[in-house]
Amino acid sequence: MKNTREIKIIIGDKERRLRFKYRGLLWFKDKYGVSLTKFFGEDGSIAADDIDEIDLLINIVYAGLIYDNPDLSIEDVQDSFDLSDLVTWMKIIAEAWTISMPEPAEGKAPTKAKAKS
């Protein structure tokens, strides 16, 4: 079953859909040289210690928007950020990350991969 959940936000006076898809993950890895998964805990929370620049946070949001918004520029996202809203943005990003992950099979809890000995 296809996961169609997403977060709707306003950027540039237009409603946009925030969801982390493969295109955005590839864009982010190409830009920063690391996987976007580095910045999230197992519970979907943002590892705030690793996000020390507002530019990085803006690029995480952009990565979650580009799949559905080919007309969107990074400047549009920058213009939507206000320092007074950082906590709200971090919550929105964490929620979008969580809903972008696969759901566990019915009746099964998510499992961690085990290292081979």
* Interval 71-96: pLDDT, tens: 899 999 999 888 888 888 888 888 89
How far apart, in Å, are the Cα atoms of 43 and each of 9, 47, 52, 101? 22, 10, 20, 11
Helix ranges, the chain (H): 22-32, 54-65, 74-80, 86-100
Q: What is the pTM of this model?
A: 0.76
In a domain, 23, yes or no: yes
In a domain, 75, yes or no: yes
How far apart, in Å, are the Cα atoms of 82 and each of 47, 58, 87, 107? 20, 11, 10, 42
Give the tens place of pLDDT for each residue, 21-31. Answer: 999 999 999 98
Asked whether the predicted pLDDT for residue 112 surpasses 60, the reply is no
40 φ, ψ to 5°?
-125, 140
In a domain, 34, yes or no: yes
Asked whether the predicted pLDDT for residue 62 surpasses 90, the reply is yes
* pLDDT interval class at 113 (50, 70, 90): very low
In a domain, 3, yes or no: no
In a domain, 46, yes or no: yes
**How many structural domains compose the chain?**
1
In a domain, 50, yes or no: yes
Provide the residue range defining the domain that includes 50.
11-100
pLDDT of residue 104: 63
In a domain, 114, yes or no: no
